[in-house]
Each structure stands twice: as structure tokens, then as C-alpha cells.
Homo-oligomer: A and B are copies of this chain.
């Protein structure tokens, strides 16, 4: 059953770079399962125990948070080879932070935490991969907090543009204002307004998703001041 999906596993963060033959050997005789979920079914609910490392073999799932008012808020979509909530398998909490729902018919590979710990122990590549995965998660979140704590929307935009440009004075941002505003944690019209004002002040020249930065030093200076 797993054999046909070994090439998906090699692409996952845990098994990354490990030849399929090796994966097969590593998993041979180990306790793990493949489970299928039909479209729309709930894979796990916020607060329920997170005991299994789970990797998507086929299909797609959505991570959704139920807001305190009951509103549903989509957090992210995950496709084949992605792990589900890898940072909640260990640590104090050990429960799902979001509702996980199958967007389409979905196949998961899963292994219990205790069995998985032993698996990690048995192969240094696996161990390093998994350590990388949760460390990356922590690093990403840490960076995100730094970003969110810029004092103003303008500062966030400056930082974002400087990062995104990677030195090119002209570039394209393949995100809608809606997506950007969610990333920044502000309202969409506020974002558009700020971009317009930055245009008027000559900090940038933008037209829809194309951005041009005439003078990098102006943006940098703005970040340093505030």
C-alpha cells in the first residue's frame, strides 16, 4: 500500500533526500498506517490529542481555526508530502491547534509518536530532517513576530519591499492586496492607501502588482528612524 507513495514521502521534510529503497527498509516492520478520508470529512479537531506524525500522500487538507466568535478562518492549505502540525507532536501541548479538514478525498500516512521517536533514533538523516523541520517552523514564527511588531504599516511595507526586491529595483509581487493585508494584519483599504501615499511621496513607483524602487536608501532610512 505504501510502496506506490514512496516518492511522495521522499519529498516530505522528514524523509527528504532519503532514497526510496532506504525508506522502505526503515519502515519495514514498523507500526504505521495509511488512512483515507473522504472529501469534507474532519481529520482532526482543535484540541484533540496529536499523537501521530501525519504526512499527506494524496489529496489536500485545509487547516481552519474557529474564531472566538465562531467565524471560520482558513489558516493554510496543505498538499501531498506535507506534514500536518509537525510542531504539535511533541512539547507541552500535544493537541491540534486547528481543525483539519479534507478538501478532497485524501490519503494520509501516519505513525504513532512513540514509534516515530524510535524511527528518528534509528537514522541520523531522519533525525536531522525532523529537527530542521520544527526549527524552521520556530524560525519562521519568530521572524513573523518581528515583522508584526514594526510600529507602522509603512515600516512593514518598507521592510517587505526591501526583502522582496532582493536588490532588484523593479519586481513583481504575486499576491493580491487582500493577501498582503492579511499577511500584515491590517485592513485592505489601509494597505492600498499606504501604498498610494508612498507613491505620492516618491518612495516607490507602483502600478498594481509591479513595484519599482527608485532609491533604496530612502526606504532604509525610514526603517532606521522609527
Which positions in A face B, CB cutoff 8 Å?
A: 68-70, 87-93, 97, 117-118, 120-121, 124, 127-128, 130-139, 141-142, 144-145, 148-149, 185, 223-226
Contact = CB atoms under 8 A, between A and B. Distances in A.
B136 A69 contact: no
The residue among A130, A131, A223 with the most chain B CB atoms within 10 A of its own CB is A131
Contacts of A136: 91-92
B68 A135 contact: no
B70 A139 contact: no
29 contacts: A68-B224, A69-B224, A69-B226, A70-B224, A87-B139, A88-B135, A90-B128, A90-B131, A90-B132, A90-B135, A91-B133, A91-B134, A92-B136, A92-B139, A93-B139, A97-B139, A97-B142, A117-B128, A117-B131, A120-B127, A121-B121, A121-B124, A131-B131, A134-B135, A134-B138, A137-B138, A145-B145, A145-B148, A148-B185
A68 B97 CA distance: 33
A127 B117 contact: yes
Interface of A is mostly: helix
Given A68-B223, A87-B135, A121-B121, 13 more contacts: A69-B224, A87-B142, A89-B131, A90-B128, A91-B139, A92-B136, A117-B127, A117-B131, A130-B131, A134-B135, A141-B141, A141-B142, A145-B145
Nearest to A182: B149
A110 to B, nearest CB: 17
A70 B88 CA distance: 36
A166 B154 CA distance: 38
A97 B144 CA distance: 13
Contact of A138 (B91, B127, B130): B91
